Amino acid sequence: MKTVLITGTSSGIGLATAITAAQAGYSVVATLRDPSRAQDLLSAADAAGVTLDVRRMDVTDAGSVADCVTAVAEHYGRLDAVVNNAGISNFDPTMEMSTMDNLRANLEVNFFGVIEVSRLAMPLLRAAGGRLVTIGSVHGVVGQPFNEAYCAAKFAVEGFMESLAPVARAHGVAVSVVVPGFVPGTRFGHFPDINRKTIQAISGDYAPTFAAYFDWVVSQGWEGAGQKTQEVADVVVHTLTADDPPFRVATSDWVEDYLAEKLTDRDGRRVQTLAATWIGSSPEVAG
Nearest by Cα to 5 from 121, 111, 114, 112 = 121
26 CB-near residues (< 8 Å, 6+ apart): 1, 2, 3, 4, 80, 81, 240
- The burial class, CB within 10 Å (0-12 / 13-18 / 19+), for 64 is middle
Q: Which residue of the set 150, 206, 213, 258 is catalytic?
A: 150
N- to C-terminal Cα distance for the chain? 62
Q: At what angle do helices 253-263 and 269-278 cross, to 10 degrees?
A: 120
Contact 111, 137 (CB under 8 A): no
Does residue 206 carry a catalytic annotation?
A: no
By annotation, the residues acting in catalysis are 150
